[in-house]
């Protein structure tokens, strides 16, 4: 049984909006257009829409599961697994989830370092950069969930000008590119919507900090609103991309978002893409620190003797080492491709499965309330 959470370290209901938002709208939106429009071409936005709506369903199962769990103990994923699957299998699943979080963090961190190396600093050393970056992460995580929430909120505010940059593209957009609609087979659209999972991953982290939210009743609305906002941002980006690029050019571009930032000019700044790229660095802090924080919580729930303030060192060292092991763009692409099925299994299969088990257990124990 985990220690009771003090009122001082709890966070307001808006955290259910900002934290998943910071996790979802991240580095991925610089590159996801090419993957999504691979087979369905101009219908790629439909795949994004389908996946985005599916996240709403997962959020509903997640929230109802956590709300039910409140009666039995602490409502986070780690203790929930232990209760539903038994202590032994539960702890094994906890370790699996920890590996997933670690994988997720490293993918994002290394993906962003790659962008920096290509667009801003060719000689940037992965190891030294991640070392410096993890120092900041350490400083944030030591301040607890309140601090992490603060970085999430600020990253949302800082990202606003980046999204407003879409307005500069509209004069150059050819909306006829979107036509004909629904030309491709449902199979092509669904398979690309499977690939779009990568973009919407991150909202499942609500399951780790749910017990820290003060008024969970209000938080529900914020959580759905956050998902809708993430869906809206991704939809806007994909539509702008499809209308800005021709299909041939889009397939040849690795980072379409970077390419259209390059077309923006200001009298004082020539390359706005570098500036935006560095602003987007802010997004990396909340996502990495939420992940490291969730990992320290997980380690504590598996082995309550290890304090969070000590395990954070181990986790950050692990992240730095694995991040610097991934060397070139090909490997990064591989890792990104691997994250899609793993994330799909965790979010769309495992969470509904857990919810089903919870329902079954409730039925079998004859608790009809």
Partner 1 sequence: MFWKKKRNQRAEPDTPAKTIGGLFHQLKSNPDFIHFNHRSDTFTCWISFFHTLIDINFVHRDVLSFLYDRRVSSLNDAVRVLPMEKVIRTKDLTEIQAKLLDGYIIVQEKESSSECLLIPATKNHGRQVTEAETETSILGSHESLVESIEININLIRKRIPIPQLAIEEMRVGKISNTRVCLLSIDGVTNKENLNTIRQRIQSLEVTNLLDVAQLAILINDNGHSLFPQFLDTERPDRIASAIYEGKIAILVDGAPAALLLPTTIVEFFSAFDDYLVSWPIASAYRLLRLFAIAFSVTSSSFYVAILTFHYQLIPKELMSTLYTSRNSVPYDPIIEVLLLEIMIELLREAGARLPTKVGQTIGIVGGIVIGTASVQAGITSNVLLIIVAMSALAAFITPNYRMATTIRFIRFPFILSAQVLGLLGIALCYMLFVCHLIKLTSLGRPYIEPIFPLRVSDLKDAYIRLPYNNQTMRPLFLRTRDPGRARPKRVQAKKGKHKSDIDE
Q: Which chain residues interact with partner 1 by CB under 8 A?
A: 12, 14, 116, 120-121, 124, 129, 132-133, 136, 139-140, 143, 147, 149-151, 153-154, 157, 267-271, 274-275, 278-279, 281-282, 285
Nearer to partner 1, 13 or 73 (CB): 13
Nearer to partner 1, 270 or 334 (CB): 270
Report the run of H or E that residue 366 belongs to, with start and end: none
CB 241, min distance to partner 1, A: 24
CB 20, min distance to partner 1, A: 16
Burial of residue 134, with CB atoms counted within 10 A of its CB: 0-12 exposed, 13-18 middle, 19 or more buried: buried
With left for phi above 0 and alpha for psi between -120 and 50, is residue 73 left, alpha or beta?
A: left
What are residue 11's phi and psi, to 5 degrees? -125, 160
CB 322, min distance to partner 1, A: 21
Nearest alpha carbon to residue 95 among 74, 72, 73, 77 = 77
Nearer to partner 1, 157 or 182 (CB): 157
Residue spans of alpha helices (H) in the chain = 15-24, 32-36, 44-69, 77-85, 87-119, 126-142, 145-164, 166-169, 186-195, 197-200, 206-209, 216-244, 247-252, 256-262, 272-302, 308-325, 329-344, 351-364
Nearer to partner 1, 125 or 247 (CB): 125
CB 153, min distance to partner 1, A: 5
Residue spans of alpha helices (H) in 70-211 = 77-85, 87-119, 126-142, 145-164, 166-169, 186-195, 197-200, 206-209
Nearest alpha carbon to residue 287 among 113, 151, 89 = 151
CB 265, min distance to partner 1, A: 8
CB 319, min distance to partner 1, A: 16
Nearer to partner 1, 212 or 245 (CB): 212
Nearer to partner 1, 269 or 356 (CB): 269
Nearer to partner 1, 24 or 151 (CB): 151
CB 264, min distance to partner 1, A: 13
In angstroms, the Cα distances linking 164 to 73, 122, 123, 244, 276 are 43, 28, 31, 16, 11
């Amino acid at each position: 049984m985990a220690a009771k959470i003090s009122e001082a370290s709890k966070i307001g209901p808006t955290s259910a909006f900002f934290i998943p938002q910071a996790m979802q709208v991240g580095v991925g939106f610089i590159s996801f257009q090419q993957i999504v429009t691979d087979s369905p071409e101009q219908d790629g936005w439909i795949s994004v829409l389908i996946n985005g709506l599916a996240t709403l369903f997962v959020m509903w199962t997640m929230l109802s599961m956590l709300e039910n769990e409140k009666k039995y103990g602490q409502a986070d994923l780690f203790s929930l697994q232990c209760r539903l699957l038994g202590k032994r299998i539960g702890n094994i699943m906890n370790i699996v989830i920890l590996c997933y979080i670690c994988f997720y963090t490293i993918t994002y961190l290394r993906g962003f370092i790659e962008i920096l190396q290509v667009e801003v600093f060719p000689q940037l050393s992965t190891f030294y950069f991640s070392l410096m970056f993890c120092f900041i992460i350490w400083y944030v995580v030591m301040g607890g969930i309140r601090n992490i929430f603060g970085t999430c909120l600020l990253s949302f505010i800082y990202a606003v000008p980046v999204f407003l940059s879409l307005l500069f593209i509209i004069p150059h957009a050819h909306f006829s590119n979107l036509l004909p609609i629904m030309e491709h087979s449902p199979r092509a659209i669904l398979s690309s919507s499977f690939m779009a999972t990568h973009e919407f991953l991150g909202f499942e982290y609500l399951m780790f900090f749910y017990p820290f939210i003060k008024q969970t009743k209000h938080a529900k609305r914020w959580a759905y609103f956050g998902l809708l906002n993430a869906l809206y941002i991704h939809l806007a980006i994909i539509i702008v991309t499809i209308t800005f690029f021709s299909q041939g050019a889009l397939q040849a571009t690795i980072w379409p978002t970077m390419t259209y930032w390059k077309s923006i000019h200001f009298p004082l700044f020539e390359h706005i893409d570098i500036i935006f790229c560095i602003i987007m660095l802010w997004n990396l802090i909340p996502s990495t620190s939420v992940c490291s924080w969730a990992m320290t919580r997980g380690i504590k729930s598996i082995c309550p003797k290890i304090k969070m303030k000590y395990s954070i060192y181990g986790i950050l060292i692990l992240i730095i080492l694995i991040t610097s092991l991934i060397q070139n763009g090909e490997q990064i692409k591989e890792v990104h491709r691997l994250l899609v099925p793993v994330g799909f299994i965790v979010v769309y299969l495992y969470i509904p499965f857990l919810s089903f088990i919870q329902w079954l257990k409730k039925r079998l124990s004859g608790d009809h309330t």
